[in-house]
Amino acid sequence: MNDTFLKACRGEKTDYTPIWIMRQAGRYLPQYLEVRARGKGTFLDLCKDPARCTEVTLQPVDIFGMDAAILFSDILIPMEAMGLTLEFQEGRGPVFPNPIQSEKDVEALIIPDPTATMPFVLKTIKLLRAELKVPLIGFSGAPFTLATYLIEGGSSKVFLQTKKMMFQAPELYHHLLEKISRCTSLYLQAQAKTGAQALQIFDSWAGILAPCDYARFALPYVQSIISDLRRMTDVPIIYFANNGSTLIEHTVTAGADVLGLDWRINIKNAIMRVGNHAVQGNLDPIALFLPEKDLKNRIKKLLEDARGAKGHIFNLGHGVVPQTPPEQVRIAVDAVHEFSVR
Amino acid sequence: MNDTFLKACRGEKTDYTPIWIMRQAGRYLPQYLEVRARGKGTFLDLCKDPARCTEVTLQPVDIFGMDAAILFSDILIPMEAMGLTLEFQEGRGPVFPNPIQSEKDVEALIIPDPTATMPFVLKTIKLLRAELKVPLIGFSGAPFTLATYLIEGGSSKVFLQTKKMMFQAPELYHHLLEKISRCTSLYLQAQAKTGAQALQIFDSWAGILAPCDYARFALPYVQSIISDLRRMTDVPIIYFANNGSTLIEHTVTAGADVLGLDWRINIKNAIMRVGNHAVQGNLDPIALFLPEKDLKNRIKKLLEDARGAKGHIFNLGHGVVPQTPPEQVRIAVDAVHEFSVR
């Protein structure tokens, strides 16, 4: 068992810097596309098929030697389990045809028992643990990020409906967030109980909030989930607030062990502000298109800049894009391993 | 003549905090929509009609008592003048059907004489100066931001083509940026000569760059334009690098008098880092949807947080959104004026 990743999360000494990359099992991999095509169904069907989920989760570990695997799933799976209709439309991303608009809508949401409603996720975790020689990361969306999809009915540009609800109907907003948080808390607890060895909370849209709004409308729900988790498990918790460089003063209070960083900040600068946290990140995903020599130099520099960290897990600053040549991912993984040997 | 805005730009003492808002002449105003409908043509046709441009530029000044007017135009107008086909497609935004891909494409770009190719802009400035009792702001896009549209062929999400060109064909990229910069420099000089009393450079997409890439691929071109301008005019220059909180250490070297700030950062935090610059910003545009009392409180707090600034021009952290009720803009303008009286 390669536990380098877990050690880095805990700020323990490691022989080298571990690496995994967000969306490492995904569309840039021909092997993934093959599995996707074989099953014929939709993306959601794939998420609910433990055998295929296991297969694609293992791919980047087997192909590139990643130091951690992340459960193949989608952050919106538990939102469907709350009773909402969820569709993935080609080119439009996730869509909730009946977005949350009223107290009645919020009241209709159920708090799902993960074992009963999302058995496929827990089954996948079990299958993966039987195969994996590296730690398995479970994950969820952060309540605020999940709420944006539910309120906007999908992705958004300026998040008008979400902010309008915050500003004009704060009680409704907080009621919704409480229910999402309870669901998410149970969901992550179930993942840890079943065998996930670390948990990442993705706050993909945190960066659209002014710091004062983030502190009031997003952060408390992350804190509450993490404090629930702390009572039942000691698995490392990673919190990734995307585009969140101006929120670090707040995100350090979330209760996580590791803070994920997007690529917009120099990692050295971030490390000075994260206190007693390990950090994860933060190569620009598009930097994977650099010529080999330049890519290696950039990775070397990033590793040097991260030397002062309590712990460093190498990652991209956001998900790998589908157009990325797999060979470039291999170069990056090898470079991280080579340059970080201590 | 109300010169409060110009004084604030220069860091001189003012009786109150001046305000204008990005996209203040625009789709949220019924009076604007009326002018737009009256002319029948496209958005580009409106941009090229000095009489209607003058009319819509004056509207927010007359209606709300803004402390500055900003020329009604589009940052892509000079890109069309460089010889490119530009279309505005409903729901898709600006489109360049023939994006820049090769050295041949870059060589084909002309450096337009603004007087000959964009006389409508200069005519509008003259008409406005004859009417206005507040300062007139001219503007352009920053070369990097303009380049993204030319390379991507329109708006983008991850800016893959732009970054690929930077990383894989840096000579081509720099050649393109040099030509855009020369065009932009002449364009802003012509605006100042014709009567623009301040100039804002919009770097709408600066925030997608890692700080090291911003320093190499975007900032030098802003510096070069500003240094050209300094040789021929002393009008205040505002540089707005959107989503640029992690770039402040670089943007302070651009040479501008004023740094525009988006809403993602607490203005007090930003002011500590901007050195000898005035600041402009930075209310979340969606905060205009707050109930009156909350909106006023937020504005009061922002004004207090900005007290330590060398100069402060109140603005939104990005453009006002079309759905904004005009009455809310009135509340904001009045609140800024009322709460900032010294």
In tens, the pLDDT along B114-173 reads 999 999 999 999 999 999 999 999 999 999 999 999 999 999 999 999 999 999 999 999
- 3-state class (DSSP) for residue A80: helix
Alpha carbons A122 and A235: distance in angstroms, whole number: 16
Which pLDDT score, from 0 to 100, does residue A91 have?
75
Is the CB of B265 inside 8 Å of chain A's CB atoms?
Answer: yes
What is the number of domains present in chain A?
1
Is the CB of B246 inside 8 Å of chain A's CB atoms?
Answer: yes
Is the CB of B213 inside 8 Å of chain A's CB atoms?
Answer: yes
For residue B264, give the H/E element and its range.
none
Alpha carbons A35 and A29: distance in angstroms, whole number: 10
Full strand arrangement of the beta sheet holding A69-70: A69-70, A136-141, A198-203, A237-241, A258-260, A278-283, A312-316
Please compute the mean of the pLDDT values over residues A308-336 and round it to a whole number: 98
Pairing status of strand A136-141 against strand B312-316:
unpaired
Give strand ranges (E) for chain A. 69-70, 87-89, 93-95, 136-141, 198-203, 237-241, 258-260, 278-283, 312-316
Question: Minimal CA–CA distance to B247: which of B225, B276, B216?
Answer: B216
Query: Which of A213, A266, A285 shows the shortest C-beta gap to B211?
Result: A266
Which pLDDT score, from 0 to 100, does residue A120 have?
98
- CATH, residue B186: 3.20.20.210
Query: Which of A269, A289, A317 shows the shortest C-beta gap to B168?
Result: A289
Which pLDDT score, from 0 to 100, does residue A118 have?
98
Please compute the mean of the pLDDT values over residues A262-270 and round it to a whole number: 98
Active site residue A182: no
Which residue on chain A is closest to B170 by alpha carbon? A290
> Residue type for A51, please?
A
Which residue on chain A is closest to B282 by alpha carbon? A210
Please compute the mean of the pLDDT values over residues A94-117 and round it to a whole number: 98
Residue A39: band (very low, low, confident or very high) from pLDDT cuts 50, 70, 90: confident
Q: Give chain B's mean pLDDT.
A: 97
Q: Tell if the pTM clears 0.95, that is, is over it.
A: yes
Active site residue A273: no
Which pLDDT score, from 0 to 100, does residue B342 have?
86
Residue A243: band (very low, low, confident or very high) from pLDDT cuts 50, 70, 90: very high
- Please answer yes or no on whether A286 and B168 come within 8 Å at the CB atom: no
* Model confidence pLDDT, tens digit, residues A172-230: 999 999 999 999 999 999 999 999 999 999 999 999 999 999 999 999 999 999 999 99
Residue B90 scores a pLDDT above 80: no
Report chain B's C-alpha Rg in angstroms: 19
Active site residue A149: yes
Q: Which domain holds residue B51?
A: 4-339
Q: Are A185 and A224 in contact (CB under 8 A)?
A: yes
Alpha carbons A155 and B157: distance in angstroms, whole number: 12
Q: Which two tokens stand for residue B126?
A: 């003259």
Which pLDDT score, from 0 to 100, does residue B99 have?
98
Alpha carbons B176 and B78: distance in angstroms, whole number: 14
Residue A276 scores a pLDDT above 80: yes
Give strand ranges (E) for A217-256. 237-241
What end-to-end distance do the CA atoms of chain A give, in Å? 20
For residue A289, the chain B residues in CB contact (below 8 A) are 160, 163-164, 167-168
Which pLDDT score, from 0 to 100, does residue B89 have?
81
Q: Are A295 and A331 in contact (CB under 8 A)?
A: yes
For residue B167, the chain A residues in CB contact (below 8 A) are 286-287, 289-291, 294
Q: Which residues contact B8 (CB under 8 A, 6 or more apart)?
A: B14, B17, B18, B278, B311, B312, B313
Which pLDDT score, from 0 to 100, does residue B91 have?
75
B109 to each of A291, B76, B224, how far by Cα in Å? 28, 14, 19
| DSSP at A289 | G
Which pLDDT score, from 0 to 100, does residue B280 have?
98
